[in-house]
Amino acid sequence: MATATRQPLPQRLLLGPGPANVHPDIMAALQQPVLGHLDPVFQELLVETAGQLRGLFGTANELTLAVTGTGFSGMESCLANLIEPGDTMLVGVHGFFGMRMAEFAQRFGAQVVEVTAPWGEPLSAADVAAALEQNPDVKLVGVVHGETSTGVRQPIAEIAAAAHAHGALVLMDAVTTLGGLPVQVDEWGVDAAYSASQKCVGTISGLAPLTFSPRARARLAERQAALPTWYHDMEALHQYWSAQGFYHHTCSSTLVYGLKAALDLMDAEGIENRFARHQQCGDALKAGLEAMGLSLVAATGHRLPMLTTVSIPDGAADLDVRQALLAEHGIEIAGGLGPLMGQIWRVGLMGYVAQPANVTTFLDAFAGILTAQGCSVDGNAGRAAAEAALAG
Ligand SMILES: *Cc1c(COP(=O)(O)O)cnc(C)c1O
């Protein structure tokens, strides 16, 4: 048989908002033999994976699985199932992903009420409660746990309590946070949550873990309007993931091996240790950037560990700096989204790449490039501050 030849691809250090570099054990799992989507061994793997996802989401929800697709496929699944045309949905908008959630909701026929906060700040639970008072027909409240466009971590429990007091369900975007920060679906009172496989979960993209509470499933059972989706019919997907042997779609066994290996690695590391590793690396990166003389974007006390946002200093050109980082050091970081485009950089430390050595490697490379491009930053102070934070 013929063999395929391949061009070698560059090795990158992926310090953007996902995908991140994948742990070698997960890469090895991805090379296991392909199994058919109805193979009993594969179906057992689905059931086990769902059990591990429940642990990670902090939930006892029976309907917990991963849909095929990326984070937005999770967002789309949740909204398609939970919204009926004409429903009112309240969406917290203080960044690009909240904005997207509002747009998706409108596509499914929702009347969207937005509660906003400045980009870089969290939403206020009091603002959400006030909006619920003014809009008593809100049926669903959507919030983003980690706003990857701004680097803000959003407290959820108080907003969820306000939503429930008004008879609304709560939908949470945990795309950036799952696997890097505690996510407590049951304790916080979240009714549906979705994530993605390629951020802090740590495997390749292609699956979106999600979970629906019994209350959310009751909403599905009460639907008057037909579901606007066949592929993302949550109850049908649940039957498939419950190993009932129905053909729903040809779920990629390979993607599930990767997800399962990522969840196994979390168990081996210990989830608390994993959260602490993200926190320590994120803190060190922030300390280093500030000591260098740069300004952070997200409000103090509300910063995500796995995604740091920094203002582009005067005299630096967004694209030139990112291109030099990639060309000279093989390091990828991201620019800003929406109104923050050209204003900020976003540096991720997600999953496998959340390691002390990557923090100092990045800071050294970054300071070198900024200096070469005529910006005055103090690289030595940056490294010293990061090392102190990592030692502490
Ligand atoms: C990345 C991201 C998404 C979208 O995920 P994709 O995998 O790119 O589809 C949605 N919400 C948040 C908060 C994200 O960070």
Q: What's the whole-number mean pLDDT along residues 363-378?
A: 96
CA angle 296, 301, 302 (to 5 degrees): 75
Q: Are strands 334-335 and 344-348 parallel, antiparallel or unpaired?
A: antiparallel
The DSSP symbol for 230 reads S
At 84-131, the pLDDT tens digits run 999 999 999 999 999 999 999 999 999 999 999 999 999 999 999 999
Would the CB of 150 count as within 6 Å of ligand 1?
no
Tokens of 66: 């991963």
Q: Which residue has the tokens 């989706």?
A: 229
Q: Whose C-alpha lies nearest to ligand 1, atom 8?
A: 71
- The pLDDT tens digits of the residues spanning 176-221 come to 999 999 999 999 999 999 999 999 999 999 999 999 999 999 999 9
- For the Cβ of 72 lying below 6 angstroms from any atom of ligand 1, the answer is yes
Q: Is the pLDDT of residue 60 over 80?
A: yes
Question: What's residue 5's pLDDT?
Answer: 84
pLDDT above 80: residue 1: no
Which H/E stretch holds residue 185?
A: helix 185-188
For residue 74, the ligand 1 atom closest to its alpha carbon is 9
Provide the token pair at 189: 């009172």
Q: What six digits make up the tokens of 269?
A: 């590391």
**Crossing angle (nearest 10°) for helices 214-221 and 234-241:** 130
User: Would you say residue 4 has pLDDT above 90?
Assistant: no
The answer to whether residue 327 scores a pLDDT higher than 80 is yes
pLDDT value at residue 198:
98
Residue 367 has pLDDT above 80, yes or no: yes
Asked if residue 243 has pLDDT above 80, the reply is no
Distance 70 CA to ligand 1 centre (A): 7
3-state helix, strand, coil in the chain (%, to 5): 45, 15, 40
| Residue type present at position 162 | A
| Coil vs helix vs strand at 254 | helix
Q: Cis link prior to 214 (omega < 30° from 0)?
A: no
Quote the pLDDT of residue 246: 81
Which atom in ligand 1 lies closest to the alpha carbon of residue 146? 13
Q: Is 46 in the pocket of ligand 1 (CB under 6 A)?
A: no
Instruction: Give the pLDDT of residue 229.
Output: 96
Burial of 285 (0-12, 13-18, 19+ CB in 10 A): buried
Within 8 A by CB and 6+ apart from 246, the residues are 236, 239, 240
The per-residue pLDDT for range 148-165, each reduced to its tens digit, is: 999 999 999 999 999 999
Does residue 78 line the site of ligand 1, with CB under 6 A?
A: no
Collapse the DSSP code of 11 into the 3-class scheme (helix H, G, I; strand E, B; otherwise coil) and give the result: coil
Mean pLDDT, residues 360-366 taken together: 98
* Strand-strand pairing, 192-194 and 169-173: parallel
Q: Mean pLDDT throughout 317-345?
A: 98
Does the reported pTM lie above 0.95? yes
More confidently predicted of 35 and 2: 35
Which residue segments constitute the domains of the chain, with CATH numbers given?
Answer: 24-267 (3.40.640.10), 271-391 (3.90.1150.10)
